[in-house]
Structure 1
Amino acid sequence: MKLLVTGGAGFIGANFVRLTLDTRPDVTVTVLDLLTYAGNSASLPDDPRVTLVKGDIADPEMVDTLVAEADAVVHFAAESHNDNSLDDPWPFVHTNLLGTYYLIEAARRRQTRFHHVSTDEVYGDLELDDPAKFTPETPYNPSSPYSSTKAGSDLLVRAWVRSFGLEATISNCSNNYGPAQHVEKFIPRQITNLIDGVKPKLYGAGLNVRDWIHVDDHNRAVWAILEGGRSGETYLIGADGEVDNKTVVETILELMGHEPTDYEHVADRPGHDLRYAIDATKLREELGWEPMYGDFRSGLAATVDWYHENEAWWRAQKLETELKYQRLGR
């Protein structure tokens, strides 16, 4: 199989490439990545089965050429950080909407299998005391430029399946954590702050709940969908990992030998969703997927170890990230 992976030098995409090489010796991978601040070629393995192409998914000629050479496309590429979308929404419109359009148009013309990777944030949020979870039937209710452009990209894929017969599946996943995630994100920011002797930062009271999943479990689910998912279907990926942000910060502090209350509160960001929760019953029952990392604390400990052991990977991006947060007061 020849696989085109968009955004394959980003956090989830690069881990997907590594998992693919480790588990599927018959697959070759072409990575299409613009290598913006969030993409890092150093995250990719040095392997002859991987070809890195620097380019924009909103470049229709490049996209058409690469899709024509692939048996399947796995579309990870996205602008994905909520704080950045509040600061400047345009890159999210450009990449998440226009880029997805050019990809599905190329896949339609070439009759190429397409898998679209999305987020649970398209569903909005749940009340903290609500027993409900998101399902594939939950109405979309995005609350930020990021989640609204991801919702729009999902709807484009659905429309191309119905209108043009595109062979495509969609997955909406909960919050990922694990190795090689950019330090602007919540968990690696706290870990790297502590490594640098800086107290972690917690938005508001820290009661917002996220449904955490290890990146390897997410990517194993993507492969299950790619190989066994039914065209036109949406599969939700989650590992029953609901934890509030305050508990995440306290756990990181404990794992790194600090008092669990040794953090700073900062002003909450606008439109901060309260709670995400995934019902992955369809994925589990239809495709037989189960998470390997059932214990969030142990997965978090391994993530802490990775950032300790790979400072050369994240050090260059740390200063710029913290200067940006300083300007935004976050």
Structure 2
Amino acid sequence: METLLITGGMGFIGSNFIRFILNSIDNFKIINVDNLTYAGNPENLKDITLNHSNMYKFYKTDISNFKVLDNITKKENIDYIINFAAESHVDRSINNSTIFCTTNILGTQTLLNITKKHKLQKFLQISTDEVYGALDFNESPFDEKTSLSPNNPYSATKASADLLVNAYYKTYGLPINITRCSNNYGPFQFPEKLVPLMIINAVNNKKLPIYGKGINIRDWIYVKDHCEAILSVLLNGKIGETYNIGGDSETSNIDLVKKLLNLLNKPESLITFVRDRPGHDLRYAMNHEKITNKLKWEPKINLEDGLKKTVQWYLENSQWLDNVISKDYLKYYEKNYRDR
């Protein structure tokens, strides 16, 4: 039995990964560390807390708190760290980048120091395609050799963390991997993100705000496919290597929203174009040949099937939504879109 320390495990991707591990593999115990900021929701893992109490434990703490993490690592005999913890919403980073620097950079440094002190088997950094910057319409997808060129405060902090992770590998020989993934969607995603925001607004016959003309392109991956890729890298990734994870589903924002409206049987007249985000990257696309060739992973769920699953989940989990959409979220939504 080995023990994983999962940071940010109450968030969207982290909670999906914990559920995936505990429902499919018997030889991992999970220690979940999360500071329960606005996007960290204990209800994401309510079923896990009830059904896997002997294999799962939660601690509320900031990943920048070395003393607390040091004690947890000793007490729980941690073998691996997977760092999902991050401030991740671009719009929020534009409004105030301070917490992004603290969590995404200093928090990562703390976790690296924990890994170093306790000689853990591996530190796995969960990163993003946004660290590469933007592509034009006719450019080839990012591969692992693409230079880092972030264009907003969020992606700059993630790129900084990635560089720090690599520096610990080269300086101290720390056993690390980095994964960089395209846009995730699926169950339990906080409604500030595009897919759940559009679903929620459409269901309630509210306007669907789309930045600019909606021509920006993203590669989309269903979150369970991402979880399977992360597990492959954890178990079989070569130490010191970075792996891109893509969904083979490049789609413009406007086309994605139209797909969702079609699934919900809602009119396109709900779409409203708003003033574009500052520094809005035109296109992201990921070349995942490395992980496919080396680790035999590839995405299984296409965009159409994934969106159907996602829409169905949100329609069937209205109570989860009601609990998530708090006054704080509504204030943020109003502030972000009011003057656009």
TM-score by shorter chain over 0.5: yes
- Secondary structure at 2:268 match in 1: coil
Taking structure 1 as the reference length, what is the TM-score of the superposition?
0.97
- Residue aligning to 1:56: 62
- Residue aligning to 1:302: 309
Residue 250 (str. 1) matches residue 251 (str. 2): no
Residue 283 (str. 1) matches residue 284 (str. 2): no
Residue 117 (str. 1) matches residue 118 (str. 2): no
- Secondary structure at 1:212 match in 2: strand
2:61 alignment partner AA: G
CA–CA distance in structure 2, aligned partners of residues 158 and 143 of structure 1: 21
- Secondary structure at 2:33 match in 1: strand
Counting only pairs closer than 5 Å after superposition, residues 1-330 of structure 1 correspond to structure 2 as 1-44=2-45, 45-46=48-49, 47-48=52-53, 49-68=55-74, 69-112=77-120, 113-130=122-139, 132-293=140-301, 295-318=302-325, 319-329=327-337
> What is the aligned residue count?
328
CA–CA distance in structure 2, aligned partners of residues 242 and 304 of structure 1: 19
Unaligned runs of 5+ residues in structure 2 are none
- Secondary structure at 2:125 match in 1: strand
CA–CA distance in structure 1, aligned partners of residues 295 and 67 of structure 2: 35
Give the Å deviation of 1:320: 3.3
Please report the RMSD computed on the Cα atoms of aligned residues, expressed in angstroms.
Answer: 1.1
Give the Å deviation of 1:324: 1.3
Give the Å deviation of 1:261: 4.6
Q: Which moved more, 1:187-196 or 1:153-162?
A: 187-196
Taking structure 2 as the reference length, what is the TM-score of the superposition?
0.94
Q: Which moved more, 1:24-33 or 1:63-72?
A: 63-72
CA–CA distance in structure 2, aligned partners of residues 270 and 314 of structure 1: 29
Give the Å deviation of 1:326: 1.8
**Identity of counterpart residues, as a percentage?**
41
CA–CA distance in structure 2, aligned partners of residues 153 and 268 of structure 1: 27
- Secondary structure at 2:187 match in 1: coil
1:5 alignment partner AA: I
Give the Å deviation of 1:259: 2.4
Give the Å deviation of 1:196: 1.8
Give the Å deviation of 1:164: 0.4
Instruction: Give 4+ residue runs of structure 1 displaced > 3 Å after superposition.
Output: none
The answer to whether the Cα contact below 8 Å between 1:201 and 1:265 also exists between their aligned partners in 2 is yes
- Secondary structure at 1:159 match in 2: helix
CA–CA distance in structure 1, aligned partners of residues 265 and 258 of structure 2: 11
Give the Å deviation of 1:145: 0.7
Unaligned runs of 5+ residues in structure 1 are none
CA–CA distance in structure 1, aligned partners of residues 130 and 336 of structure 2: 22
CA–CA distance in structure 2, aligned partners of residues 168 and 248 of structure 1: 35
Give the Å deviation of 1:323: 2.5
Distance 1:233 1:66, change over 3 A: same
Q: 1:56-107, CA deviations, whole angstroms, 9 ceiling, x for partnerless residues? A: 0000111222334211111100000000000110010000000000000110
The answer to whether the Cα contact below 8 Å between 1:5 and 1:30 also exists between their aligned partners in 2 is yes
CA–CA distance in structure 2, aligned partners of residues 106 and 175 of structure 1: 29
